[in-house]
Amino acid sequence: MIGEHVLAGYKGDAGGREALDLARAVVALTGGKLTVAAVHPPDRPAAAGEANTLLEQAHELLGDLPVEFAVHESRSVARGLSVLASRIGADLIVIGSTPGGPHGRISISSTSDHLLHSATEAVMLAPEGYQPPEALSRITVAYVRRPQCDEAVARAAQAAVRLDVPLRLLTLALGDEPRARLNDDLALAIRLAQDSSGLFEDRVTAELAEGDDVADALADADWHEGELLVCASSEDAVAHRVFIGEVGLKMLRAAPCPVTVLPRGYS
């Protein structure tokens, strides 16, 4: 299950604080380790000192929570976070949204865009204005019948058992797509979730969300407070890397909750 070692990328803005809040909520659930990092460019003499100042702010925000801090030099924040995650053995990178986006929705920055198309670890994004809920209420997996999504279902089902939360498998039914086939695919996915995890029948559900486009379909679905959406990487992803496709990116931007994108071949 992801979250055994969480790396939060911190900046001194609202998105950075929301990333801290989300990372803290994850390790509270998993009992995992938390590292907070500030990445700075190599060509400014004062940059390392500024990064250390940022981490002092993060330390104050986190209080007594056990956490390690890391300053990393890189020309790219995204590459710096990914390299650092590999170096320290983190399995999840958490980042916030670009400030100024729609409240309650994820806004993509150049850093998150790069991570969503190249990271070797799972990437989790916090929506604008994110505040940690009292508890995780449900894990939802965006499902289309293909191997990467089957992997995501199996891993999410195992996490649902460990965290004692229900699992929902959500398929978007856009336009004139045949509903019967999509329902058949969801029935198979329910069986996969149960067989791969021992999840009880009453703890897994499936839902078709209908709409003319991705945003309409997600608005048609029911969302709980404290929900987490899990997406698989695209078929275009290189093995063991994140690569979110066009539909996945639209889902991420329209989702009313934190979103995790798994690398292809995640295990």
Using only C-alpha atoms, the chain has a radius of gyration, in whole angstroms, of 18
113 and 145 share one domain: no
Are the C-beta atoms of residues 164 and 136 closer than 8 Å to each other? no
- The residue among 53, 56, 6 whose CA lies nearest residue 28 is 6
Q: 266 in a domain, yes or no?
A: no
Q: How far apart are the C-alpha atoms of 73 and 18, rounded to whole Å? A: 23
Q: 130 in a domain, yes or no?
A: no
pLDDT value at position 236? 78
At residue 184, the 3 state secondary structure works out as helix
What CATH code is carried by the domain that includes residue 82? 3.40.50.620
Query: In this model, does residue 74 exceed pLDDT 70?
Result: yes
**Considering 125, 153, 170, which residue would you say is the last residue of a domain?**
125
Record the tokens describing residue 169, joined without a space: 């498998």
173 and 207 share one domain: yes
Are the C-beta atoms of residues 33 and 65 closer than 8 Å to each other? no
97 and 145 share one domain: no
What number is the average pLDDT over the span 255-266? 92
pLDDT value at position 104? 93
161 and 116 share one domain: no
Record the tokens describing residue 158, joined without a space: 């195992």
What number is the average pLDDT over the span 200-217? 95
pTM: 0.95
148 and 252 share one domain: yes
103 and 146 share one domain: no
> How many C-alpha atoms does 234 have within 13 Å on its Cβ side?
14
**Percentage above 90 pLDDT, the chain:** 90
pLDDT value at position 43? 85
What number is the average pLDDT over the span 193-201? 95
Strand ranges across the sheet with 138-142: 68-73, 33-40, 5-9, 92-95, 122-125, 259-261, 227-231, 138-142, 167-174, 204-211
**Considering 125, 152, 175, which residue would you say is the last residue of a domain?**
125
Q: How far apart are the C-alpha atoms of 71 and 80, rounded to whole Å? A: 10
pLDDT value at position 31? 95
Number of domains in the chain: 2
Query: In this model, does residue 84 exceed pLDDT 70?
Result: yes
pLDDT value at position 178? 86
- The residue among 114, 152, 142 whose CA lies nearest residue 243 is 114
- For 85, the domain range is 5-125
Q: How far apart are the C-alpha atoms of 26 and 67, rounded to whole Å? A: 13
Query: In this model, does residue 267 exceed pLDDT 60?
Result: no
pLDDT value at position 175? 83
What number is the average pLDDT over the span 226-249? 91
Q: What is the mean pLDDT of the chain?
A: 94
9 and 88 share one domain: yes
Query: In this model, does residue 232 exceed pLDDT 70?
Result: yes
83 and 147 share one domain: no
What number is the average pLDDT over the span 235-255? 90
- Pairing state between β 204-211 and 167-174: parallel
